[in-house]
Amino acid sequence: AAEPQCQTAADVIRVAEDAEALIVLYAPITHEVFAALPHLRIISLPLVGVDAVDLEAAREHGVWVAYVPDACVPEVGVHAVAMALALVRHLPFYDRAVREGRWDYEEPGVLRRPTHLTFGLLGCGRIARQAGASAAPSFGRVLAYDPYVPAENWPDGIERAPNIETLFRDSDVISLHAPIVAETRHIVDTALLARMKPGSYLVNAARGGLVDPGALLNALDSGQLAGAALDVFEPEPPDMNDPLLHHARVMVTPHAAYYSVEGDEEGRGRAVHNIIDFARCGRPNDFVVAGTK
C-alpha cells in the first residue's frame, strides 16, 4: 500500500529521517522537523505559498527553501472571479432554493448587472493580476490596492486605489490576494468591512487568516455583505460547527482554487527541477531562503 501523506511534523520526522531533500505540500515543517533532520539540505514546494515552512528555522539550520512563484496563477485567478460572478448572480442561492422546491427569481433580492459594478483586488501580484484580467470583461471597473508594487510596475487595465480604505469603499466585490504575514492577519476586520457598500461581496481564495471570521459573520448577518465566497479557512479543514459553513449567504469550496490537472503536474515538475538544479548547480532556480548546506 502507498505510504499515506504526512499530516503532522511527527509524520515528516518519521518518514524523512535520512532525507537530504523534501518536496512538501501542506505538512508543517517546524523547528522540530529541522532539528530532527540533520541531513536535510533543501525543501521544495510545488506552490507559491510557503507558510507550511518555518522560514526562520530554515535559515537557522542552513536549509534552502524553494518554491514555484507563479504556480497555479491561472487557476486561482479564474476561480476567484467565478466565485464572484456566482455571488453576484445568486447562483448558490438559486441552486439550493430550486432543489428545495422554490421557484422564485426575486427571492434572494436585487440582481445587478456586473458591468455596472467595481471588482476590487486586495493585492496586485501575479494571481491578483490574473483575476483582474479575468474580471475585466464582466465588470465595469477593476480597482486594486497594493502598497508594495511601485508605480512603474503597475499593470495596465487595473486602476490603483490610493489606500485600502478607498478600495473597500469603492468596490462592489472585494477579492483577496495578499500573503498571510503578521501585518495582514485579520486585516479584513469590522472597521474595514463597515467601509464597504451595503449589499457588497467578499471573495477569499488566498488565506483564511486574512479575514476576522467574527467580523465577517456579523457583516453577513447585518446585511452589510450580501454574500461571501470562501475557498480557504483557518484552520483547514474547518470545524464543521463553524457558523460560516452553514450560513445561507456563504458559498464554500475546499481550498480547490489552486487545483487543475495541468497546474498540479506543472507545479510538481518544477518542484522536482528545483531539487535537480540544486544537486547540479548548488542552488535551486526559485527560492525564498538561501541555505548554506
Q: Catalytic residue numbers?
A: 207, 236, 255
d(CA 274, CA 251): 36
**Which residue in 169, 171, 164 sits closest to 147, CA to CA?**
164
> Which three cell numbers, joined as nine digits, stand for 216?
465577517
Residue whose entry in the numeric block shows the C-alpha cell 465595469: 140
Per the CB < 8 A criterion, the answer to whether 2 and 22 are in contact is no
- Between the alpha carbon of residue 122 and those of residues 20, 25, 93, 135, 240, the distances in Å are 38, 25, 26, 14, 28
Distance of CA 162 to CAs 31, 165, 194, Å? Answer: 39, 8, 18
Residues, the chain: 293
Evaluate whether 244 touches 251 at the Cβ level (below 8 Å).
no
